[in-house]
Amino acid sequence: MPLFARGSADRGTPSRLVGSVATMARESPRRGAQKKVAAYHEAGLGELARQVGKAIDAFRAGNLDAFEVDQVLFQYSRAAKELWKFCNLSDVEFAASLIDDSAPIDWWERGAPRRR
């Protein structure tokens, strides 16, 4: 896409550029929020995956049985779903503000089975 609208160089008015700059200025906070939420989501998934890795290592060492590993996998699944829901709120800027302003969320704990 050309930087300037066709024929605008003749008049010395970069009309398409002005419109693009205005659009970028409006989208910039949203893009920043999207990047923040994506990084948060990736870091959260990494932490959850480490929990699974510990359980697998403990199973291989004979410290956990298959049922205990299954419980860890179930908790991972629940926690990852909760994290996904948080990171995919309809308003990404709101999610980014929660990441900045709220106390850290323990996603692993959020995925723990509910006690009856």
Query: What tens digit of pLDDT does each residue of 22-63 get?
Result: 555 556 888 999 999 999 999 999 999 999 999 999 999 999
Q: Across all residues in the chain, what is the average pLDDT?
A: 84
Domain residue extents for the chain: 37-116
What's this model's pTM, rounded to 2 decimal places?
A: 0.73
69-80 pLDDT per residue, tens: 999 999 999 999
Backbone torsions φ then ψ of 32, nearest 5 degrees: -60, -40
Question: Whole-angstrom Cα distance, residue 86 to residue 35?
Answer: 15
CA dihedral of 40, 43, 44, 45, whole degrees rounded to 10: 120
